[in-house]
Structure formats: C-alpha cells, structure tokens
Amino acid sequence: MSNSSKPIGFFDSGVGGVSVLKEAVKLLPNENFIYYGDNANAPYGTKTEQEIQDLSLACGDFLISKGVKAIVMACNTATSVAVRQMREQYSIPVISIEPAVKPAMETSYDGDIIVLATEGTLAQPRYNLLLERLHATERVINVQCKGLVTLIEKGKINSKEMDEYIRCIFAPYSSHRVDTVVLGCTHYSFVKNKIKQFLYENFHGNRHVIDGNGGTVRQLKRVLEEKGLLTASTKKGKITFFSSGDRKFIRLMKRLYQMNID
Ligand code: DGL
C-alpha cells in the first residue's frame, strides 16, 4: 500500500474526538479514518502527567499497529501533556489540538472570554504559556469542568443532569458580559448547541461558542499536503471505530458522529 492511501488515525480519551473527526471528514472526504477512543481509561483530565503520557503513547501504538499515515491527537488534555513525547516517538506526522484562545482573542473586544477545559489542560504549562504568548491572561476566565467528560461518556447529552451542569458552571459569572466561550475539550463540542442556547437565554454580550476542531483539521490537511500524503482516491472514504472499552462505546461514537453539532 502506498503511504498516501493509508488511513489517518485519530485518538481521544473517549468519544470526544469524534467531534474533530466529523470536521476532518468534511474537509477530507476521500480519506479513510481510524478512530480510537480510550474509553476504558477516560477521563484523562484527572490523571497524573505520567499516566496521561503512557496512555497517549499506548493510543499512538494502537494506531501505528493499524498502519496509519498520520496521528491526530483529538484530545486537548493528551496534547497538553504528551505531544512532545508523541512527536519524538513516531516518525509519521502528529497533529495536535489546543483550546481556541487565539481565534477568541481575534474576534472578542469587550466582554469576557471563558475557557472551559479539563483540570489536566488548565494546569499544564503549555496552556499557560499559550495565554501569555497571546497576552490573554487578563481577558480569560478559566473554568474547570470536572465531571463533564464523564457525563458525555455516559451519553447524557440531552438530559436534565446536563442542563443542571451547564447552569452550575456559568452561575458564578451571571453578571458578566460574555464575548466568547472556548470549548477547550473535544467532548464539549457535543454540548455546543446547549451552551449556545443557555448563553442566549441568560447572558449579555456576543456569546460566541467556539472550539479548536476546525483549526486542527485545517492543519492536518496542510501537513498531509506538504508531505505528499493526501489520498489520490476520489471515492468516499471509510471510518472504522475502535474502543479500549465496552462495545457500547462504539455505538455511542456512531450516534455522536451522526449528531448535528453546529
Ligand atoms: N476530549 C478530552 C480533551 O479534549 C477529554 C479529556 C479527559 O478525558 O478528561 O481534553
């Protein structure tokens, strides 16, 4: 098999990276994709750095064993802890994701920028350096969303629990003008519409809700182009889902893949 006809590998701690995969398929419809969710070990956000590094490398090894031509780390937490080790370990391109603070800074003028992310991502020097580099430290309110990944892994997207969760995370900012909410975890894209609706009903300001998915897949395309790795196929590509956990997660991934998130 020529290198360009190999599949592209995606991984995440669980089902969240499916939101990035959806964008990738829109941009690169003729590519084949392998998606690996490490559901048996989700969430990553509460684990130690060493654990997240080891788990990310195990996901990378799984994708390499499937013969992928590039790896997309569709997980902000894994990226912030393990992207350097992944790039050292593998000779194929490794594309990563980070909270979309840059586009938020470019389009927000007066109100607050609220970044929702896991404990793991917010605690990492990589994220804090990003804020410093963008002179964003003063503009950004960081909100740790403990337990949100687990709710989404349970498929509880349209549930009372989710509505209550969203209400609670924004409650401390009820008097703020909100320009942009950055979804700094790929799982959260599946509640993007719910968050948008909540902000419209309860807040003032521009109330944009953005994620880093588009930027990541555009980077994927650029890298594949540069390396001559884009497929020559003109047929619609195939997606294969794998999970380290129960088969029910494959069903959830397929259901989320069909969901309209924008
Ligand atoms: N989707 C992962 C992220 O983007 C979730 C991490 C977790 O499992 O806590 O950060």
Task: Domains for the chain: give ranges and CATH numbers.
Answer: 3-97+213-257 (3.40.50.1860), 101-211 (3.40.50.1860)
75 is catalytic: yes
pLDDT band at 249 (very low <50, low <70, confident <90, very high): very high
Determine the average pLDDT of the residues in 117-134.
96
Residue 145 annotated to the active site: no
140 — phi, psi (to 5°)?
-100, 135
Whether the CB-CB separation of 105 and 74 falls below 8 Å is answered with: no
Q: Probe ligand 1: pick from 145, 149, 182, max atoms within 8 Å of CB?
A: 149
Q: What pLDDT digit, counting tens, does each position of 49-64 carry?
A: 999 999 999 999 999 9
Q: Which two tokens stand for residue 14?
A: 């669980």
211 Cβ closer than 6 Å to some ligand 1 atom: no
Residue 108 has pLDDT above 80, yes or no: no
As a whole number, the mean pLDDT across the chain is 96
Ligand 1 within 6 A of CB of 79? no
Residue 253 alpha carbon to ligand 1 centre in Å? 15
Exposed/middle/buried for 8, CB within 10 Å: 0-12, 13-18, 19+?
A: buried
The answer to whether 207 and 181 have CB atoms below 8 angstroms apart is yes
Model pLDDT, residue 109: 77
- d(CA 42, ligand 1 centre) in Å: 8
Q: Is the CB of 190 under 6 A from ligand 1?
A: no
Q: Ligand 1 mean position to 176 CA, how many Å?
A: 27
Catalytic residue among 59, 75, 145, 168: 75
pLDDT digits (tens, 9 = 90+) for 70-93: 999 999 999 999 999 999 999 999
The H or E element containing residue 9 is: strand 8-12
What pLDDT band is residue 110 in, cutting at 50, 70 and 90?
confident
CA–CA gap between residue 67 and residue 61 (Å, rounded): 10
The sign of the dihedral angle between the CA atoms of 255, 258, 260, 262 is positive
Q: Quote the CA–CA distance of 209 and 192 in Å, as a whole number.
A: 7
Least reliable range by pLDDT among 26-40, 86-100, 107-121 = 107-121
